[in-house]
C-alpha cells in the first residue's frame, strides 16, 4: 500500500464520526484521559513500510486526537511518548525518535499555543540532547498560562522510578524532621509525584491489543477505567477515540464501593461451614 493511499484512508476515517458524536453524553465526558500509544513500528512493518514511517504517522494521529479531545470536553490528555525502557531499542530508532520529538515540537508548539493548550512534560530529561531539553523548556514556558486544555507528554518516564523517587524524598523529609513518619498518607505521597498538579486519569486507552500497563502511571491508574483496542496507534482515528469514550460512559464507576442496596440484598447471605 502506498503512502498516499494510507494517508487518504486515515483522513477519510477521521471525518466519519458524526453518528458517534451524537452518542456521546456531554455531561459524562472523562476529564482526564491517558493513552499508551502503542503499535507504531509494527504498523509500519506490517504494511511493508518502515518503523519510522509508523512513528511519523503516529504524530499525525496524535494531532487529530488532541483536537477531538479538546472539542468534546476532555480537559487533560496524558500520552506515553517515550518510556525509560525505550532506550533498549536499536540505537538508530532511539536517535530517530528523539529527532522526531525535536522536529514536532519545533513545528507544532506555536500552533499549540494558539489553541490555548498548555504543554507539560513529565519524566527525566537529563539524558536528552541539550537542544531537545531547551526546546522542552521553551515549549513549556510559552504555553504555561494556557488554560483551555492540557497536554501531558511523558518522555523518558517510568512509573517505578517515579515511585522510588517519591519514597526517597519523603524519607529525606522525615530524617530532616520536616515531617513525621506517621504523617505520611496518600495525599502527602501524591505531592511528591510528577503528576501532583493533576487529578488521576478517568480513562486509560491502550492501542495495539497489549494488555498491560508497561510501567505507566502505576499509582495514578489505580481506579481508572481501562479500554484496550486491537487497533494500532497509526490507525486510531477519531472514530476509535469516540468508541473509547462511549465505552467509558457505559460503565458504572464505584471506586471499590457498591450501589445503594436494600438490606434484603444481604439477607441469608452469610457464609456457613
Residue 188 pLDDT > 80:
yes
202 catalytic per annotation: no
User: Is the CB of residue 219 less than 8 Å from the CB of residue 163?
Assistant: yes
Other Cβ atoms within 10 Å of 264 Cβ, number:
7
Three cell numbers at 206? 491502550
* Interval 11-70: pLDDT, tens: 555 455 778 989 999 999 999 999 999 999 999 999 999 999 999 999 999 999 999 999
Chain segment 59-98, per-residue pLDDT in tens: 999 999 999 999 999 999 999 999 999 999 999 999 999 9
Q: What angle do CA 85, 59, 14 make, to 5 degrees?
A: 130
Q: How many CB atoms lie within 10 A of CB 44?
A: 22
86 is annotated as an active-site residue: yes
Predicted confidence at residue 48, as pLDDT, reads 96
- Res. 198: pLDDT tops 60: yes
Catalytic site residue from 7, 25, 38, 185: 38
Nearest C-alpha neighbor of 107 from the set 43, 172, 152, 63: 63
Q: Give percent of the chain above pLDDT 90.
A: 84
What's the pTM?
Answer: 0.88
Q: For residues 84 and 161, what is the distance between their CA atoms, to the nearest angstrom?
A: 9
C-alpha cell at 232: 494500532
Q: Which of 17, 40, 64, 86 is catalytic?
A: 86
Amino acid at each position: 500500500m502506498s503512502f498516499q493511499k494510507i494517508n487518504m484512508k486515515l483522513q477519510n476515517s477521521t471525518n466519519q464520526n458524526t453518528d458517534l458524536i451524537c452518542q456521546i453524553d456531554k455531561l459524562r465526558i472523562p476529564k482526564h484521559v491517558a493513552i499508551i500509544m502503542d503499535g507504531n513500528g509494527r504498523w509500519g512493518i506490517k504494511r511493508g513500510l518502515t518503523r519510522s514511517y509508523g512513528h511519523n504517522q503516529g504524530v499525525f494521529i496524535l494531532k487529530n486526537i488532541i483536537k477531538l479531545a479538546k472539542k468534546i470536553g476532555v480537559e487533560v490528555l496524558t500520552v506515553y511518548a517515550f518510556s525509560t525502557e525505550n532506550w533498549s531499542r536499536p540505537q538508530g530508532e532511539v536517535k530517530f525518535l528523539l529527532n522526531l520529538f525535536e522536529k514536532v515540537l519545533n513545528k507544532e508548539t506555536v500552533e499549540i499555543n494558539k489553541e490555548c493548550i498548555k504543554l507539560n512534560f513529565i519524566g527525566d530529561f537529563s539524558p536528552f540532547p541539550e537542544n531537545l531539553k531547551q526546546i522542552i523548556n521553551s515549549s513549556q514556558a510559552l504555553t504555561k498560562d494556557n488554560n483551555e486544555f492540557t497536554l501531558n507528554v511523558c518522555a523518558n518516564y517510568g512509573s517505578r522510578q517515579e515511585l522510588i523517587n517519591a519514597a526517597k524524598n519523603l524519607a529525606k523529609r522525615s530524617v530532616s524532621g520536616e515531617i513525621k513518619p506517621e504523617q505520611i498518607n496518600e495525599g502527602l505521597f501524591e505531592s511528591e509525584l510528577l503528576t501532583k498538579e493533576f487529578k488521576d486519569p478517568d480513562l486509560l486507552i491502550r492501542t495495539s491489543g497489549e494488555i498491560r500497563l508497561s510501567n505507566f502511571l502505576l499509582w495514578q491508574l489505580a481506579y481508572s477505567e481501562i479500554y484496550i483496542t486491537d487497533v494500532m496507534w497509526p490507525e486510531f482515528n477519531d472514530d476509535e477515540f469516540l468508541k473509547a469514550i462511549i465505552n467509558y460512559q457505559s460503565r458504572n464507576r464505584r471506586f471499590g464501593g457498591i450501589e445503594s442496596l436494600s438490606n434484603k440484598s444481604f439477607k441469608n447471605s452469610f457464609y456457613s461451614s
